Amino acid sequence: MENRKLGNSDLEVSVVGLGCMSIGTEKNVAKNILDKALDLGINYLDTADLYDQGVNEELIGEVIKSKRQDIVLATKVGNKFEKGKDGWTWDPSKLHIKRSVKESLQRLQTDYIDLYQLHGGTIEDNIDETIEAFEELKQEGHIRQYGISSIRPNVIREYVERSTIVSVMMQYSLLDRRPEELFPFLEENNVSVVARGPLAKGILTERPLHEGPKTLKEKGYLSYTFEELNHVQEALKQAGGVRTLTSNALLYNLAHPVVASVITGASKPEQIADNVKAIQALNLSQDEITAFKELTKAPSYEQHR
């Protein structure tokens, strides 16, 4: 599988990464999913301390400890939770970040985290303090690089201009093209995009829309009504030629040089195999990319400007 560099770092990530939130809490199931991903050439695993209140990190740590050197391991910080209690609070403070990294390292059974990401962020945060915490963790060798997971243009711009982040994780797909307005700015500053949600909750797969969640029929998806989704799904299939809709969706994201990896979730090994197979189709032509853009909406973020 092709690997791409994250920003100006020496981290090279597989163009398909595994979002680990959906691997569950049963050890054998999680192990089968993780092993399948690694066997198929995925080297980029993405988790967060918040997922199942640390259990997700524990499962990953147990499975990968003998293969650690072959993996780009990413986790996230910023949401403070208390084990066994519902909910969490936002805490981007230096104290919380430096305390949390030690707990993540212990759960992941590793001495370092390849990519440590701020799991959100607001313009009201003490951004300088947050950056200072990440920079110190780099100097101390606890993390190799850091990034943020955010869709807020104002927050993204602050971190790009004031820190040494190498990546921004954003929800991005053919049905959510809002991040594209930031691509030139990120590319100019050599910051990579990690795309989550590239299949738009399964809308950009072969699954019929009527088999999707009930809320899809009631509320649609983002700015698309259910009727619009039916139309655009069929139009994208027609415009994509012999490829599957999944292939076209993933290849569209990866056609943008600033996108280093698309993060796909999986609750069973077969889903990983399908996603890896999907990117092995012939790359999109410029005409196809143009056609996909004409068939979909390209709004901008309305908030957090």
Backbone φ and ψ for 113, nearest 5 degrees, come out as: -110, 130
Report d(CA 128, CA 159) in Å as an integer: 9
How many CB atoms lie under 10 A from the CB of residue 58? 18
Assess whether 51 carries a catalytic annotation. Answer: yes
Largest CA distance in the chain: 53
Q: 10: Cβ–Cβ under 8 A, 6 or more apart, which residues?
A: none
Q: Which of 243, 196, 264, 281 has its CA nearest to residue 36?
A: 264
Q: Of 44, 51, 172, 224, which is the active-site residue?
A: 51
Whether the CB-CB separation of 166 and 146 falls below 8 Å is answered with yes
Residue 287: exposed, middle, or buried by beta-carbon count in 10 A (0-12, 13-18, 19+)?
Answer: exposed
Cα-atom radius of gyration of the chain, to the nearest Å?
19
**DSSP alpha helices (H): ranges in 145-212?**
153-162, 183-188
Instruction: List the structure tokens of 110.
Output: 């590793």
How many CB atoms lie under 10 A from the CB of residue 239? 15
Report d(CA 97, CA 56) in Å as an integer: 18
Whether the CB-CB separation of 116 and 134 falls below 8 Å is answered with yes
Which residue has 């805490």 as its token pair? Answer: 91
Q: Which residues are catalytic?
A: 51
